[in-house]
Amino acid sequence: MTSSVTSHSKMLNAALVVDNVTKKYASGTEALKGVSLTVPQGDFYALLGPNGAGKTSLIGIVTGLVNKTSGTVSVFGHDIDRETEAAKSMIGLVGQEVNFNPFEKPIDIVVNQGGYYGVPRSIAIPRAEKLLSDLGLFEKKNSKAMELSGGMKRRLMIARALIHEPKFLILDEPTAGVDVELRRSMWEYLTTLTQGGLTILLTTHYLEEAEKLAKNVAIINKGSIVAQGTMDEVLSLYKGGADDKYATGKLESVFLELTKK
Per CB under 5 A, residues contacting Mg ion are 55-56, 96
Give the list of residues 6+ apart from residue 5 with CB closer than 8 angstroms, or none. Answer: none
Residues between 82 and 121 that touch ligand ATP (CB under 6 A): 96
Of 15, 17, 21, 31, the residue at the interface with ligand ATP (CB under 6 A) is: 31
Q: Does 52 bind ligand ATP (CB under 6 A)?
A: yes
Q: Contact 21/58 with Cβ under 8 angstroms?
A: yes
Element of type H or E holding 8: helix 2-13
Using the contact rule CB under 6 A, the part of the chain among 24-32, 33-41, 130-138, 150-158 near ligand ATP is 24-32
CA angle, residues 58, 55, 74, in degrees to nearest 5: 30
Q: Where are the beta strands (DSSP E) in 41-112?
A: 44-48, 70-75, 78-79, 91-94
Neighbours of 261 (CB within 10 A): 5
| Residue number, nearest CB to Mg ion | 56
Q: Does 177 bind ligand ATP (CB under 6 A)?
A: no
Using the contact rule CB under 6 A, the part of the chain among 1-9, 46-54, 111-119, 174-182 near ligand ATP is 46-54
| 3-class DSSP state of 227 | strand
The option from ligand ATP, Mg ion, none interacting with 54 (CB < 5 to 8 A, set by class) reads ligand ATP
Cα distance between residue 59 and residue 61, in whole Å: 5
Using the contact rule CB under 6 A, the part of the chain among 55-63, 130-138, 157-165, 236-244 near ligand ATP is 55-63
Of 7, 11, 25, 82, the residue at the interface with ligand ATP (CB under 6 A) is: 25
Q: Contact 120/163 with Cβ under 8 angstroms?
A: no
Q: Does 122 bind ligand ATP (CB under 6 A)?
A: no
Of 38, 56, 204, 216, the residue at the interface with ligand ATP (CB under 6 A) is: 56
> Residue 49 CB, nearest distance to ligand ATP (Å)?
5
Q: Does 174 bind ligand ATP (CB under 6 A)?
A: no
Q: Does 29 bind ligand ATP (CB under 6 A)?
A: yes
Q: Does 53 bind ligand ATP (CB under 6 A)?
A: yes
DSSP one-letter code for 233: H
- DSSP secondary structure letters along 105-168: -HHHHHHHHHHHTT--HHHHHHHHHHHHHHTT-GGGTTS-GGGS-HHHHHHHHHHHHHTT--SE
Give the closest residue to 237 by CA, choosing from 224, 256, 221.
256
> Residue 241 CB, nearest distance to ligand ATP (Å)?
22
Q: Does 15 bind ligand ATP (CB under 6 A)?
A: no
Q: In the complex, which residues of this chain contact ligand ATP (CB under 6 A)?
A: 25, 27, 29, 31, 49, 51-57, 96
